[in-house]
A and B are shown apart, each in its own frame.
Chain A
Amino acid sequence: MNVGVAHSEVNPNTRVMNSRGMWLTYALGVGLLHIVLLSIPFFSVPVAWTLTNIIHNLGMYVFLHAVKGTPFETPDQGKARLLTHWEQLDYGVQFTSSRKFFTISPIILVLQIVPTSFSLYMNVLSPTHLPPGQALLSCFSQYFIHV
């Protein structure tokens, strides 16, 4: 295994997210994280979803947008050293399928918070049935109680 050998794929980091099974692994990883959080007895379902979101976003932020360069030497003479992984994906071509997938996935995760907490709130936590917009606001209002 030649670390740093010159081959036509100048920066293998660009192709990693396109490889076979990567998306599935990512989805399974997020699922596993969520299940682990759900199994902790203190957390209720909406808290588990919120935590999943937070941890997932933190992790993605660190690995895709904060860490710069490549973990191996590339023959491109350091062109990728100042680029985050997100910028390196597909050599900077925008709106490729990987980029779209990873843009949409946190949105989907966030959208999971509303239904789970909404129904819980409606049936268990609140006797009154507030309209959806107000319900959403009330869900998060407890966090802004000090404002």
Chain B
Amino acid sequence: MANKPSAPVMNPIEQSGTDYLQMHRIYDLFHNLSASLVYNKPEDPKAFMINYLEQLKKARLAGLASPSLVDDKDLTSIFRMLDPAGHGHITYSQYASTMEALGVPTYNTSPAGKDNDRITFETFSQEARKRLNELNATYH
């Protein structure tokens, strides 16, 4: 629904509506919410959504991590899959393609260890965690 440059100019009411939605990150909110819903498939979708929104509110208040489909355990498992031999680091291209697979659009393209092509677990998980938090904190 993003405004393409060739799209006709919206009337002011439409424009203010879109602005409102963008300012409060409603698109991202609904995106994350529906992803969480169809992944978890709860019996009572409304109760699940209310729970999610409450958690998000708490996160906003306390500066904690927002609810996310990918938690720290998952990051550890992902890293282990990428580094089955247990060297403790992954290559830059692995790091880049994992970021994309996680749905992170912009990430640090020169993390520590890029020069010798060895990204450690700490670097990877810190960057992933930071970006995922940004994506999930759908409030302003």
A and B found bound together: no
Q: Which residues of B pack against A, CB within 8 Å?
A: none
